[in-house]
Amino acid sequence: MDLFSIVLMLCVGNTVGWLVGIYMEGGRLGVLGDVSAATAGALAAGFIYRQFVPQAGHIGLLAVGIVTAAIALVLWRRFVPAAR
């Protein structure tokens, strides 16, 4: 994965984490938790996507990053218990 793809996934994860954090009110993760969960999901999906579809362009990578960042954040909020 080239440097541009990594930076793209970081930007996508940060943006999606921030937007989902605003949209899903009542979150217990806070802004930093939302952004880090979404960024981890976007980076992981970007690396996996590049392994299965190496000739894919940046538009496909962007779409996969957006979807998986949102899914990762929703799953994190659903299954990880709140800190006490």
pLDDT, average across residues 68-81: 81
pTM of the model: 0.76
Question: pLDDT band at 65, cuts 50/70/90?
Answer: confident
Res. 84 pLDDT band, cuts 50 70 90: low
Three-class SS string for the chain? CCHHHHHHHHHHHHHHHHHHHHHCCCCCCHHHHHHHHHHHHHHHHHHHHHHHCCCCCHHHHHHHHHHHHHHHHHHHHHHCCCCC
